[in-house]
Structure 1
Amino acid sequence: MRAGATRDVRASIPTTVTHLTSATEAVALAARLTDPGRSWPVVVISTPAGSVRPHVDADAVLREVTGWAEVVVVPTGSVSWAFSDAMPPHTQVYGGASRVYPVGIAWVDDVRRSRLRFAYSAEEGGRVQGPLVHDALAAAAGAGLASSGQTDADRMVGGTVRLLTTARALIALDDGTQAAVAEELTLPGVPVERLLRPGMRVTGSLDPGTRLLDITGMVPARDERLRMVHASYRPGTVVLGRVVAVEEEAVTIAVAPDVEAHVRRAQVTGNELDRLTDLFTIGEVVAARVVPSPGVSLRLDDVDDVADEIVPAIALLPDGPPWLDATPAPRAEHSARPEPAGPTTTEPGGPTTERAGPTTAEAAGPTTEPGRPNPRPGPRPRPTPADLRARRTPPPVPAAPSSSDAPAVHAHGAARDLSLSLDAERALTRRLTQRAEAAERRAVEFEAEVIGLRRELARMADEQRTHEAKAGELRTRLRESKNVARRAVAAAADAQAPQAEFLDPVDQFRHDVYLTWAVEVPATDKPERPLGDYDLGPHFLESLDQLQGVPRERVLTVVVWVLTGQARHVNGLQLHRLRTGTGGDDPVRVRESDNATAWRVSLQVDTPSARRLHFWQRTDGRVELARVGLHDDFSI
């Protein structure tokens, strides 16, 4: 997007919160959101049922995203239902939930691009505010609004990185003022602490309204990043990379942002029982060996994490930190960074207030039950306190009238009046000075409290990173344990004679489902993921016997995921309602006899005639397995 066009778009974004009041307005909003030509992101915040005010402070969100995104409030009730009916499936907002709709319509097919954020109280609303701001700014960057396009000399400034905090860098500008660098608007996907370090010099274009410093001009383009990779990583060396995609037959690893290598299964493992989707998690940092190639090629099957020396990751900016670190060290206490201040507003006769910049928090994604979305709150980190200061400046003492303006006969009286006025003004000045000094002392005390809160935030961030590291180790152990268990089950099956334990096919199938559940679900999770009650449809076993192209073990695993309620969390299963036809507007199937709803889940993806599992979800919560068949077979 051209610089001038970017400025025009940002100038057109509404600067006030829009409150919908009618179904007509809700339908119009849905039409605007699903318009591929929309120019800016939209934050939609819904109110809880029975309340006219949302738990999320819409005005506070707007202050953080003004000029980047629009903010709309939808009341739950007839207005939200009209909005939901007009929106594509699984993209609605109601009941106190909120989400950001990025530019374009890719989020219609991939709702992960428009994460649902839940708040069930005002406190949770405060915690949701940070993730919403993060989503909105990231969507603005994705829409090409990140670069302000200002190249005038009076917009270009320089400064030094002073402090780092979650998704923000505080910059001390050369003119003595402060600005902030937003992670979401600089190089999306790269944490700010992997781009900048305290003490670095930076230059960029300053937005005077938001006090955000655009340093994208310092970030090397993809071709330059590729050149840096070739210059720093020699063939045969072991380097760090970040997993960006995992498939059954390949894993994609980035050695620099947007500089990626597609590593096939043969260059990862020689064990046919290993599944790459079990071995890798998107976002984790791995070690890989560089293979000679005109582009970027890697292999992982011959890397020894102990014997091989790992080359440090490249720095994306001069004097910057490595963009990847397999074991990031906790931030030092002096690097516990405040949220950068935004623009100031002054009330007549009142203190000058600096608005704090946006904060970021982890929030769980949507939880979807059969039927409409059923929100479940996720973990919510403690919000960052705003970095506020209060200053008070005494008004200037008005000039006393000159005695020469009065007639000479009244000179003595005028002089006396002037002296009394000056005494009164001096007393007023002393009182105002005392008040200013008291306000300054309170400001110093408040600043000390803020520093303590920043240190507490840094400590909590360190604890979170420690817990995440432990969670990563546990995931790795679980992954290895599951592989060992699968191999043990396979070996035991090979050692036994191929005979069934039951003569009745129904009993045999139920026995196989129970054994699969026993292996798939860890012992610690079994109380929380019990094997639900289910029935077998009259044609299910017949369709299973006729099924070709997918192992019976795969069917049993997917059945266990459905019965334990985990299918909705596995993106590859593509759990959705079964419609009467192939059209997106075709009605969903409902069995007339008991109002059970039909559902469909994938047994395979990205293969010709991919197999599917169909089942009924009854109103009493019981599942009835209906049949297995091909992708284009919608019978049940």
Structure 2
Amino acid sequence: MALIKWDKTGAELAELIRSDRTRHLIVVSHLPDRTDLNLDAGYLARETEGWGDVVLITSGPVSYGLKDALPEGSDVYGNGARVYRAAAGDRPAGDPTRFVLPSTRGEVGRKAEELLDIFFGLPVDQAVLEQAATGPVPLVAGPDIRSGTVTGFLGAGELAWVRLEDGSPATVAQPDLVPGVRLDWLLARGQKVSGPVDPVSWRMDLSGSLVRLPNAQSHYGWGKVVLCLVEAVDGDRACLEVLPGDKIRISREDVTSNELDALEDLLTAGAVVAARLGQEKGVRKLSLREVDDDEVVEPAPAVIEGGLPWLLPGRDLLPPSQEELEQPADTADPKALVSGTEGPGEPAARSGTALKSVLRELDAARAEIRRLRAEEEERLGKDQVIERLRNELAGTHAALVEAGSELSELRALNRKTQERLLKAQKRVREAERPRPAAMYPRVFAANEDQFRHELHLQWTERVQASEKARYPLAEPALGPKFLRSYFGHPPELRLKALRALVDLLTGRAERMGTRDVHPLRRGRGAGEQQWVREGDGAGYWRMSVEGDTPASRRIHYLVLGNRRIELHELVPHEVMEP
């Protein structure tokens, strides 16, 4: 036996692992809903046939039972695999080797070879050597590393064409890198790349050039405005991808404060949007509402070493255009496109075009005509049959051409509709963002009344309806300098100050790294004394309004004895005293 599809319990598998075996055993686990990340158990079984056995399980009850029956850290789960040693001398069977787990599609093939390296690196029982029909223990050949230059892309970024240094062609497949992201978003024409090249399919593996990115908060930091790709929208929930594979779910309240708005009217899968990365009680959050038009958006990282940023503002993931489907590339040599079984330089059928099925129908029609021609020639004159069949073929061809033209028009209409929808949704989302203070009408003659009115309006917009009871707005005291400093700034800065004040007066600012709340000290050192007011001894504090932008503003305030906040002054960044 070589491949065993396990249909028993995890405890019974543990017994097999610990049994007095003379051959090493590979246990492979598959995820039922992520077939793209699963190791090829059949391939592993063929490579180890005669030398060992491969057991295939489905992650779930079997893997849970296996975990309970084996020592901690020696089980197999998810889409991982492990080699368990055979019995040798006084050592019983079942000693585990290291756990092998592909984390991306591009790693699946490489991890399979890594598993084989582990397997064939173990000592083999003499009886197994004598029984194996393949002779000596096979050696796993190392990959053929080649270098080349990206010369073009196929269609909607499904394939990239690479001209190797010796002039041979190779391809890079989109599913092998970042699922769902076009290769022309990741690679640039003229970019130098290198990786193993399969000698049969001439497919280049660039998984070794993938940049190992941490999670979003480690890469960007809390409070930053980052680009996200909308992966899916479902009812009042949406899933946004901040980094490849790092996704955060959002709700309607993260996009709009209007309870009548539907999230599907504001977001569409494939849109690239800007959102603020934050956290609430340890849970990551993305807010599209808390982004000002003039805020700096953090650049997205490159996913491939030396490649392009994987997301750009305003570049949405649209359906492929008709030109992309019909033209493999605009600069690459057509001979560079090779199929999975052809050698270099051989012509290959274009794949991925929407008219492929139509062409197959045409071929089938031609075959049927040829069959009918043979039958009719026996009964009628050859010339008469040929003429009739030619007319039938012409009619069929005309119908197919008309269908292809209609399909092309529908594709173009779909793309234009998608573009209009994304633009309309962007305008609606921008309308949901907080308005500049100048847009608040002057409804009070006194500056204090007007300020408190604007502050309350900003609280109603900034705090979601479901959280208003949890985050009430505290009533601040106003120092003699505050109103003059507040109304002395332009509307856009007053808006940012209002947003910061809402965070402060709802008790959220101290938990937000972007607000940088700290004592106002007499010097720049952390050990310097805090400024205090004579008379009541209240301490001065300092809070960021705009982050570290040039000429950024800070709010100085005091915490009174009853914990009430007194707003002191809105000042430029360089002002370091009351």
Q: Per the shorter chain, which TM-score range?
A: 0.3 to 0.5
- Greater CA radius of gyration, 1 or 2? 2
